[in-house]
Structure 1
Amino acid sequence: MVFTSLDLITTDFIKLKPQSTISEVLTAFIEYRSDIACVVDSQELLVGITTKYVIYRALLAGATLNTPIDTLYLSNVLTLNSDEDLHSGRQKLLKANVAHAVVLDEEKKILGVVTKSDLIQGFFRERAVFIERLNSITQNIPIGIIVIDNNKQVIHSNKASHEILGLTHHNLDNLLLTDLFPELGHYLEEIFSRKEKLILNKLALRNLNCFVTLLPLVECEKIDSVSIIFQELSSLDNIALELKTTQGLINTLQTVLENTYDALVITDLLGRINFYSKSFSELLGLSSSRILEQKIVDLIPALAHKKLPLLPDDYSEVILINNTNCLVSIHKIISKKEIYGYIFKITYKQIDHLKTLLSRLQTLESMVDSTKLMEANAVNELSCLKKIITVNPLVNNIKQELPIIAKTNSTVLILGESGTGKELIANAVHELSNRSGKFIKINCASIPADLLESELFGYEEGAFSGAKKGGKPGKFELAHKGTIFLDEIGDLPLTLQAKLLRVLEDKCFDRIGGTKPLSVDIRFIAATNKNLRVLMTEGKYREDLFYRLNVINFEVPPLRKRREDIPILIKHFLSVFNAQYQKEIMDVSHDIINSLLNYNWYGNVRELMNVIERAVILCKEPLLSKNYFEMIDLPQTEDFAEANILELSPEKQMIISLLKEYNNSKSKVAAHLGISRVTLYKKLKKYDIKSTPDYR
């Protein structure tokens, strides 16, 4: 319940005229036991207020009891609307630094007076109602809730928690939670350490498998209390089964409805469409967005003069719909003698039995194809991340951040050497975003400077000699509602950098030879293999453009700094080129793997891909040997075994660094990495990292 000014006002208030005397005011103050009086005009509209203090000061200044108050009231009065809530009223009183306000109705007539003390009482009443409601909710929901204080003693438990755990006759107040549930001890330590919510998908509480959430309440960076919310998994399994069964029935019903009649439409009582078959949209030639929630009389005007509630049930009539003669049957949806909606069955196809069967088969196939297409789209959204193949922690961090960054419109700058996969990351940002437009790529280094401007901005007809008739849209226009990827942005000429800055800041530009600014909605992603900060110091790159581009940046490490990715990339490219060239090459020889791991790969992933492709094309054996890698100067090496790969691992270096930073605290290191302590211990064992004072 939200209390308003109307709930708090004093309706028994003093109301006087300007010609009233000081004597009348004082008498009213005594009678009403009030410190404030409202002064109104002949139409009962508020003109001001007077208070005890105003009157006292007037008497001290020499006024008599017969002095009228026409000059003894305050006209600048704080007023509140009748629907003003507590918080708004409090803010206005504090801002005006007054102790009272007058509440007016819509006609500016006085409803009453509200004071600070009235507001305070209102807050207490509102708080009491809120606590009562909250307690009612927690005691009646079928989910167990136990609340503990910072000493881990129970301060609240609801009815469901007692029933789920078989503690119906127990009072849990003031008991240590770890005495009741020792299995929670480890997780409570983690909660008090991390001060973050913890979700346990499956935990045995008193021999019951439960879904458990531990939710800390943090006040002034300290945990005030922790709520343990749990539900028995068997009940959740039953709900999931019921939902699955219901969804199956809905799918079955929809399939039946799709295939029973040529077209079917269901509306509510007002004729708004809330279901229609595919055949109905085909009959009208309209898309889904132009049918759902529309009134059927707007789509079939011939029904406009029909009084649907008065029609007999099973009413049928031949109506012309979209230049097609249709037999329309109208049925009422009735429950307890009340009409809730209508069903329209529309037959319009003249077909024999064979065509009917074929039509039904095609409809079912279409439904299956639509489902597959929806699933394919969902898979495709995630597949763009799978294209970034890595086990390197730095690149994996980039992958984890991409879905979050993609949902924003912020500019992204991708740094890295040629061939590291910058375009792959740019494309993933676009694919994971909600943008409906295209992904437009332009390489700023591959187009001559005198042509680059027309490529980016487009041009109008006659803008220059040789300009196409009708002009030509530029890449910015083509990327409207989508994403533009400016590759090799470090090679953009200075003359174009200022113009690009305007597009970034104003989201508008002019075509070459144009006079009308064009507005666009574009997501900008830029990439370069150059050091833009060095270019800025050399005067070859604008600082304002750099800082505008560098809102979010990713730095992709070169392949020689993530050698642990080389074996899995080789395996991936081998699979791709086997399929492309119909080969059956099983693997790469061990000595070649060692040599490839030692090679510096200045062309990065692109160079590795090209080397593997050439080897696959030339290979006639089931194993790639050294003979097929003569195009690169492979180093002579002994055995670059897995231990060497692990030793190079940035993940190992990161874990050692974090152990030093957090004084060997495994909990803090695991929290920083976003993994469990169990997973951390596995990694410590994998990399042979000892918990010694060296890390303290």
Structure 2
Amino acid sequence: MKVSSFTTVNFVQLSLESTIRDAISAFLSHRVDIGCVTTEDRKLLGILHKNAIYRALLENTPLDSSIRPLIKQDVVTIQKDQTLLDAREIMIEGNVSQAVVLDQHQNVFGIMSKLDLVYSNMTALEDTLNRMKSLVENLQDAVISVDSNLKITTFNHTVLDLLQLNGKTLLNAPIDLFLPDFRKGLIETMKTGQIQQAKRFSFKDLTVIASFIPIRELNRITGAMVVLRDVTSYEIIAAELETTNQLKRILDSALELAYDGVAVTDKHGLITMANQGFLDLFSLDQQDQLLGTPISKIAPQLPSELSLKMDKKIEGKLIEINQRKCIVAQMPIYQDGQKLGAIFKIIFRQLEAWRDLLFHMEKLESEISFYRGELSRISKDSDPFAHVITQNSQMEKFKQDAVIAAKSLSNVLITGESGTGKELIAEGIHRVSGCKGAFIKVNCGAIPEELLESEFFGYADGAFTGAKKGGKPGKFELANNGTLFLDEIGEMPVSLQVKLLRVLQEQEFERIGATKTTKVNVRIISATNKDLAELVRQGKFREDLYYRIHVIHLHIPPLRERLDDIPLLCRYFINKINFKTKRNIIGVSPEVASSLQTYHWPGNIRQLENVLERAFHYSSSEWIEIEHLPQELKLLPQEQVLSPKSKTTETQLPIDRKQSISRTEKEVILQALKKCRGNRTKAAELLGISRTTLYQKMKRYQIIEELEFRYT
């Protein structure tokens, strides 16, 4: 961590012309013990300590005397970009409790005290603890820790999900009460102080591998933890693999006994292996006669080119070889996407038995391949905002910022137009943060003003006529140790803003009609589609509340700035609506895709989902066509197509429906580029799209630059 993050920048700044009276006034105003004497351009001349003023006053020095004789010029300084460890060493070596922090131009940046160092160390410790907590909570393995008396002290959510336990009764309970099988391992670990790994346990219908780890504090063992990994699915797959291997050995033996033929070739069709049955079928004496020989030469009756060249699989084709009826099965062999060759099975005795065995074996191979794919997919699914559907680079950067915001303890303000998914992002931040409490939502614009206070703070028994007996908790109480999401916070009345600010500052409030103060620990996530800074300037939103909720700001880009996400979003919503309506729409036609990517989407993603859901009801085929769209997307008039923001254009763009929508967009982009003299940044701003989207559209329409912009 850097010194600049923990420096007190609101410091007392004095000049050589300052008097003792000026210094005392500044010290009282800032409530500090030290001031910096600087030049007009903030160059450090020295420091003035309050003790020097005390001594001067004891010597009856007049208050209007200059501070020059009291200035200490030998000052310990620190650079703002130095680390906290460097600052600590400098202050210890200088034997001072405060030091002046300078910037890269040697101007005074602020003052660092020992208290600031202590606070920075506490912040670093808290950050480390939060990271460790988040790491444990997001582990796929279950983690349980106990104290020296074998009472459960901590556990993660995986424990509850995997072992199907109740977290409310688990904490501080003896390990014997819920998990007696692990008692012996925990005791042995605390006794020996050694890690014990890979012990297999059966719990209900699960098979787990347990590792026992001692917990030390100040070189003393104070407890232990057990880490559990669910291997139930692995054992099932291992059993399936063993079954497959057994079937293979049985099949090899059966083929040899029945003299049925098996041959394997490389990708060029050269034989690499053949069994005795294959030799007998083609009247050959030794296998050496076959190796390296093209199978098409030895067995021209086999349609080998289907597997070797056309990658086709054949099951149960009936052919005649040397006046014998045979069933041929052949298939290409792949490994890691690379074709290795092909296998040919020729069954001419006990056909029914071998056919059943082959089908069963291939079915097992297919299932194993599926399980491997599922395991791989699950293991790689580590994106905490995977529910945010995007491939846009701007949105990917937004997701990274959201993860950083989630792992902090600061209040978050989410801004964006209606329909961009602000609530979805807020829920994701709460989920990633690992808060134990609930995620409580309040729409500040949907609750009547007279009910807002009782909704937020609740009320006591008998607070007013009609009050619920026993009182009612408010949203702050319900969100204790969790997250309170204030949607449409710009609609909150000013009268309630004052009370909300007090709760944010003090973390306590009183129910309506109550005399008892309730303390809470709540993180605030706010959302709005309004410009709060402008509301502050208009006096409609309190400035101090604005800065309280505006610690971390996340802005969700509108859909018109991430048009490259529309195909991905269409696939997601179509699958979602297919599942809900039990239909099987494949997708949208190219004409529809073009229309969707040239529309300005004032309602953003919510509007896109509604448009697709409407199209489902009107479509009777497997595709969504242009006629299934609402009228505003069918015609795409000039003002709805991506167009320059100026009120007039040199030529009126055609609105004829028969003309190509793509050509219309080409013309608009060309006009914008000409007007901006080829400046792509200004052209993108004029069109109301991002630079990335503009480059994508220029590439799509093959717009090139010569003496002027034109399209090929």
TM over 0.5: no
Shorter-chain TM-score category? 0.3 to 0.5
Q: How does the TM-score come out when normalised to structure 2?
A: 0.42
Q: How does the TM-score come out when normalised to structure 1?
A: 0.43
